[in-house]
Amino acid sequence: MVRAAAVLGHDWLSWSTRYLTDYRIQGNSMPVPDLFLQGVARGWQVIDAASLATDTTLEADVIIIGTGAGGGTSAEILAQRGLKVLLVEEGSLKTSGDFKNNEAQAYAELYQEGAARGTADGGIGILQGRTVGGTTTVNWTSSFRTPDPTLAHWASEHDVKGLDSESMAPWFAQMEERLGVAPWAVPPNANNDVIRQGCEKLDYHWKIIPRNVRGCWNLGYCGSGCPTNAKQSMLVTTIPAALEQGATLVHSARAETLVFEGDRVSEVRCRGMNPTLTAATGSTLRLRGKHVVLAGGAINSPALLLRSKAPDPHARLGKRTFLHPVNMTLGLFDRDINGFYGAPQSVYSDHFQWDQGTTGPMGYKMEVPPMQPSLMSVMMGGLGQESLQRMNGLAQSNLMLALLRDGFHEQSQGGSVALRDNGDPVLDYPLNDYLWDGVRRAYLSMGEIQFAAGAKSVVPTHAHGRESHSWADFQRQVAELSYRIHDVRLASAHVMGGCAMGEDPTRAVTDSRGRHHQLENLSVLDGSLFPTSIGANPQLSVYGLVAKLATGLAAELS
């Protein structure tokens, strides 16, 4: 405790002591208990497919492919209904004892393609999880209900039934309770406070972010896996609950194809992964169940269906995949920001999210990321001396990001998933003028907020980005930037869509209950269901939607 306080500053100590409820910290030598491994030791059925020597067949009532937000949520609900559940996860099992707050290790072990996933033309870098718990194990804990305008848009434009705000409210409430979601009550770190300060000055909307944490230590390393089990990811909540109920978890196994008999899935054919998780070269596993829940997430779920040559009579599979493309601005202050420490996301602004309507020019939500150096070096950009100068200012810098709300306008159709020669998925997401217009306006909004908060200079994350020392000069710079691929630095941490839900089979892959339109015993229960992007960090949208749909499925199956 004392050592941590010395690292993080006295202020952290004084208000963190009021919020640490679940763990008694008795000096540096007491390790945090690894709750998951304790469960395994008590007898949970967990199989490492990478170490299976021979081909194996396993049976269950329900096979759940993927252990992320959708897979975990459905596993708990189905298992609690008395169904025998088998979860299969492509990633490996990493638990709190493995999480060392080490960026490079986390990117290599916990992220899709070692954190090097990107769109086909390289225009957008994609951060997505690949580990037990999926992206929930590595996300930054922000938890928002699906915005009302988004739900209304799905109903009116995408033929989605029964998912209006009133119907969804109890399910969001259930999952908020389940996962400890509450507005972050600890003072925001200085990095987040830039949004608050700037927005206050400009009379822009800002609010505290709700987070799915219990007993959070306010460290800021959510992105490399929570080392204290405070983050209420699927890894420490729903999956343990399902395992307690007798579910089986198979990890380090890629679901390669679904085998069909008529209009039913008869088998999920999987293969064990190699040690670096780059290829499925191990033994074969055949998983048989009465019902299959596909929860591999966007990109991966459509890819599995494509590899399986699943029925797709209207060519909807993989289409309308959305990313909340992110652009950023870097502000330099003459005070310490230390954005690498403290809860990573605690303040947001929706001032420009809906102000031009649901289907007008692209809206965006503004937040900040955690600022650990490896990822930051890429975001800060610059070449040579320019890069070094920016990195030397890391501790006095604030990086702001804008999540652009794609999928609501007819010029925002998103991307489509295809397969590479070896069956790996690839997302082709074209960049167009509608997006560039949003990028330009987001640069302006973020820079304005940073200057209002006292930034001495602001750089847009762009190949030609330079330090502007005044708001006026920044506006000039943004107007003159080249809006083209590879010049504008874009990232994504939210992948959505590709197996869109909706009552019209000519436009959707599943119905409003997540039931595949052509396959009898297949449900898609993950973020690939979304017909558009969400307009907010998507995890709670997946939890709420899947809680509702899985509950319906559980009633039907039991």
Partner 1 sequence: MDSNLNPQLGRRDLLKLGLGASLALSTVGLTASLTGCTSERAAPEFQVLRASDLPLLSALYPVILGPHPALTQHPDAIAQALAQLDYSLAHTSPFVQKAVLDLFGLLSMPLTRGPLTGIWGDMSKASPEQLNTFLLRWRDSRFEMLRQGYNTLSKLLMMSWYALPLSWATTGYPGPPVI
Q: Find the largest Cα–Cα distance for the chain.
A: 67
**CA angle, corner 111, sides to 105 and 117, nearest 5?**
120
Residues forming contacts to partner 1 in the complex (CB under 8 A) are: 3-4, 6-10, 28, 31-32, 100-105, 107-109, 113-114, 116-117, 121-122, 125, 219, 221, 227-228, 274-279, 281, 336, 338, 340-341, 372-378, 381, 383-389, 391-392, 394-396, 420, 422, 424, 426, 463-464, 485-487
Name the DSSP class of 468: B
The single residue listed with the structure tokens 């490079």 is: 104
Query: Which is nearer to partner 1, 220 or 498 (by Cβ)?
Result: 220
**CA angle, corner 101, sides to 275 and 255, nearest 5?**
35
Query: Which is nearer to partner 1, 469 or 486 (by Cβ)?
Result: 486
- Angstrom distance (rounded) from CA 504 to CA 314: 11
Give all strands (DSSP E) within 179-237, no chain letters: 181-183, 207-208, 210-212
Query: Which is nearer to partner 1, 117 or 316 (by Cβ)?
Result: 117
CB of 419 vs partner 1, minimal distance in Å: 11
**CA angle, corner 387, sides to 129 and 124, nearest 5?**
35
- Angstrom distance (rounded) from CA 80 to CA 326: 38
| 190 neighbors 197 (Cβ within 8 angstroms) | no
- Angstrom distance (rounded) from CA 399 to CA 5: 25
First-to-final CA distance of the chain? 48
Query: Which is nearer to partner 1, 155 or 463 (by Cβ)?
Result: 463
| 119 neighbors 427 (Cβ within 8 angstroms) | yes
CB of 10 vs partner 1, minimal distance in Å: 6
CB of 274 vs partner 1, minimal distance in Å: 6
- Rounded (10°) angle between helices 471-480 and 433-452: 170
Amino acid 289 reads G
- Angstrom distance (rounded) from CA 444 to CA 473: 11
Instruction: Find all residues with CB under 8 Å of 18, minimum gap 6, and list them.
Output: none
Query: Which is nearer to partner 1, 38 or 558 (by Cβ)?
Result: 38
CB of 111 vs partner 1, minimal distance in Å: 9
Instruction: Find all residues with CB under 8 Å of 303, minimum gap 6, and list them.
Output: 296, 318, 417, 419, 423, 424, 425
Structure tokens at 553: 């499925």
Query: Which is nearer to partner 1, 297 or 407 (by Cβ)?
Result: 297
Query: Which is nearer to partner 1, 78 or 399 (by Cβ)?
Result: 399
The single residue listed with the structure tokens 């779920």 is: 301
CB of 467 vs partner 1, minimal distance in Å: 15
Q: Computed from CA positions of residues 528, 355, 449, 9, in that sequence, does the dihedral angle turn out positive or negative?
A: negative
Among 553, 455, 514, 87, smallest CA distance to 287 is for 87
Which residues is 126 bridged to in the sheet? 492
Query: Which is nearer to partner 1, 123 or 240 (by Cβ)?
Result: 123
CB of 92 vs partner 1, minimal distance in Å: 11
SS (H, E, C) 380-441: HCCCCHHHHHHHHCHHHEEEEEEEECCCCCCCCCCEEEEECCCCCEEEECCCCHHHHHHHHH
CB of 481 vs partner 1, minimal distance in Å: 13
Query: Which is nearer to partner 1, 103 or 176 (by Cβ)?
Result: 103
Query: Which is nearer to partner 1, 125 or 210 (by Cβ)?
Result: 125
CB of 330 vs partner 1, minimal distance in Å: 14
Among 270, 263, 348, 268, smallest CA distance to 313 is for 263
Please tell me the number of Cα atoms within 13 Å of 289 on its side-chain side. 26
CB of 25 vs partner 1, minimal distance in Å: 10
Query: Which is nearer to partner 1, 166 or 385 (by Cβ)?
Result: 385
- Other beta carbons within 10 angstroms of residue 549's beta carbon come to 28
- Angstrom distance (rounded) from CA 515 to CA 513: 5
CB of 482 vs partner 1, minimal distance in Å: 9
- Angstrom distance (rounded) from CA 220 to CA 4: 13
CB of 118 vs partner 1, minimal distance in Å: 8
Query: Which is nearer to partner 1, 25 or 202 (by Cβ)?
Result: 25
CB of 418 vs partner 1, minimal distance in Å: 12
CB of 57 vs partner 1, minimal distance in Å: 27
The single residue listed with the structure tokens 């705000």 is: 165
Which residues is 48 bridged to in the sheet? 251
Query: Which is nearer to partner 1, 349 or 396 (by Cβ)?
Result: 396
